[in-house]
Structure 1
Amino acid sequence: MKQYLLRPTSLHIFVVTTDCNGDCIYCQAKSHQSGGGKYMTEKIAKNAVDIAISSPCQSMAFEFQGGEPLMNFDIIRYIVDYSSSISDKDISYNIVSNLTLLNDEILEYITAHNITISTSLDGPAEVHNNNRTFLHSNHGMYSVVNNKLNSLLEKNIHVGAIQTTTRFSLNKYRDIIDEYMMHNMNSIFIRPLTPLGMAADRWNEIGYTPEEFCSFYKKCIEYIISINKDGHFLSEGHARIFLRKILLQYAENYMDLRSPCGGGLGQLAYYSDGNIYTCD
């Protein structure tokens, strides 16, 4: 159950920029509110990779975050190329993106280097557009994200998606889960709001009580079970992690739910300005 405590740091997060083209109502960063974000340079990226590679762990995960990391894709490319040229370690690469800046050039590169993608899909258009809009406009991101997501799935590129629950989501649990089924996804991660950044500032508008979230989560689980009984397969992330621990005595290496948590021990985060933190 605790074998991960004896393993070296395996997850290395590179915050390649704090800039973003989005204006999500629960954003933790708020970099655009203060006059633009920071961008990681090649020098900082090289130093960060050198430190990450020094971990004695043979299998490692490099994750690119933002802001919107595709706004600094040149540095992502540099980190992938540099790390693969100086090390024979087994490194997996993942980009956490809103997908809106994905183009053919980026798509070709991530396909050639087996880079996976993680994105946010809060539900159907009504829900996603309420939560996630483009910066300096009221236009929701759903139509662009939907098209990009379909393009990735058609090319058999692995895409993971997480859902973030706002007050607007609470009565739309069926619609949210149906959206994931429409994309033929076999997992959904139902995530509560974190009271940081914009979410903290707007909590009275978009937040809820723990009891309200638990009621929403229970409805989601019951609906997912009914879908699975009909012959489909859809798992929920938190349930999978908890049940594997309860029933199988297996502690999945998910940093937020490790005990003690994975900060510092399991992961490090390299910020765009060169500072290093215990987690993202």
Structure 2
Amino acid sequence: MESSIAKEAVKKYLNTLKETKRRNPYLKPIIGFYGGEPLLNFDLIKEVINYAKKIYKGCFFTLTTNGILLRKEIADFLAQNEVAIAVSLNGQREEHDRLRVFPDHSGSFDIILKNLINLSEKYSDYYKKFCSIIVCYDYGSDIIEMSRFFDKQADLLKVARVNMISDSFGRWYKRYSKEDKEKFFERMEYCKQMYFEHLKRGNENRFLSALIGTPYTLILNRSINILYSLTRPKFLPFTATCVPGTKVAVDPDGNLHCCEKMNYNFPIGNVQKWLEIEKIGILVEKYNSEITKDCLNCCVKRLCPLCFALTAGIEKFEKEPADVCEKIRKSIKKQFEEVWSLLEDGVDLFDIVTQKGYKQGGVFL
């Protein structure tokens, strides 16, 4: 991304924010950096942060990184500017190096862990407050060993999110056999039982809470005795999708998108014109007609995870796989059974609801 595009995006975002803050004076601007690997363009990151600070006081900065370049000058700058960093680390060395490798197939675990240790020692307060870990897994992951690893490293590695690698419109999971999948689900069930035992004993395990407990938090935090029409905008009544423009993702060419996870096939503006209402309207109409036409009578519509990013194909929105709705209903019904069984067994509700919900807007470069 060129400096001129990044600066124009930040300027337009902050100018728009001034109008928005008339309705919400406590709104704090967030500027985030994503990749690929954003630290490969560290000069741009420095320039954008310094530029944003000059034109607006009180910006909050975030960055998602693989952690390989997180050292020396880069680490110093991020710490001094209190940039919240999320580092991708998939667990123990064997698990992490299974997927996160260099072109010569050597692993990256040792480099990342060393960088995190050095950062935590040099900037202890900053590290505790602003640094977290994002974990990814798939059917080939030994999540039991992952759990043990993060439990042992809990003081150093603060797990924020645990995500399954997405396979929407892809072939990633074709590599795994039926036996591989069965073994994975056995491990997942074991982790679930470990999580239940931790809850019953009043113990906290951040990895298991993020891996297993997040859906229970969503269930317990759902709106009850409130008309569904009051919890969602009238023009996007169903699924968990955002209102386009709440968050703005800017690609290297200066096109705007709903979020950093969205593919580039459905832009909603550019840095010159900024948000284009006509494009947003078309996007919303396409999504409603292609995704939500069967949502009205769905029994789990308040908890549906589908959104623009998860359903965006090449030219239209699609459900991938085709039976995803039935899978979602089955999964959420089981989660209801499990969370109510925990409460009946005397587990404190607030031991389950450990993940603080948040709504985040901003510009992401």
1:203 matched to 2:173:
yes
Structure 1: runs of 5+ lacking an equivalent: 1-39, 252-257
1:61 matched to 2:30:
yes
Q: Quote the residue 1:192 is aligned against.
A: 164
Task: Kindly state the Cα deviation for residue 173 of structure 1 after the two structures are TM-superposed.
Answer: 1.7
1:274 matched to 2:243:
no
Counterpart Cα distance in 2 of 1:166 and 1:44? 36
Contact 1:263 1:279 in 2 (8 A): no
SS in 2 for 1:272: coil
Task: Kindly state the Cα deviation for residue 180 of structure 1 after the two structures are TM-superposed.
Answer: 1.5
1:46 matched to 2:7:
yes
User: Paired residues, what number?
Assistant: 229
Structure-2 change in CA distance of 1:247 and 1:211 (3 Å): farther
SS in 2 for 1:190: strand
Counterpart Cα distance in 2 of 1:160 and 1:121? 10
**Equivalences for residues 204-223 of structure 1 within 5 A:** 204-205=174-175, 216-223=187-194
Counterpart Cα distance in 2 of 1:166 and 1:97? 20
SS in 2 for 1:133: coil
Q: Quote the residue 1:143 is aligned against.
A: 110
Task: Kindly state the Cα deviation for residue 65 of structure 1 after the two structures are TM-superposed.
Answer: 0.6
1:84 matched to 2:64:
no
Larger radius of gyration: 2
Contact 1:62 1:91 in 2 (8 A): yes
Structure-2 change in CA distance of 1:273 and 1:210 (3 Å): farther
Task: Choose between structure 1 and 2 for higher RCO, CA contacts under 8 A separated by at least 6 residues.
Answer: 1
Task: Kindly state the Cα deviation for residue 222 of structure 1 after the two structures are TM-superposed.
Answer: 2.6
User: What CA deviation, in whole Å up to 9, does each residue of 1:215-263 have, x standing for no partner?
Assistant: 5544333323434637444263365553344324479xxxxxx944226
Structure 2: runs of 5+ lacking an equivalent: 22-26, 225-237, 261-365
Greater CA drift, 90-99 or 184-193: 184-193
Match of 1:153, as an amino acid?
A: S
Q: Quote the residue 1:234 is aligned against.
A: 206
Task: Kindly state the Cα deviation for residue 91 of structure 1 after the two structures are TM-superposed.
Answer: 2.2
Counterpart Cα distance in 2 of 1:61 and 1:240? 27
**Equivalences for residues 1-280 of structure 1 within 5 A:** 40-53=1-14, 54-55=16-17, 56-57=20-21, 58-88=27-57, 90-134=58-102, 136-154=103-121, 155-156=123-124, 157=127, 158-169=130-141, 172-184=142-154, 185-187=157-159, 189-195=161-167, 200-205=170-175, 216-227=187-198, 229=201, 231-234=203-206, 236-237=209-210, 241-249=214-222, 259-262=239-242, 264-280=244-260
Match of 1:117, as an amino acid?
A: I
SS in 2 for 1:167: coil
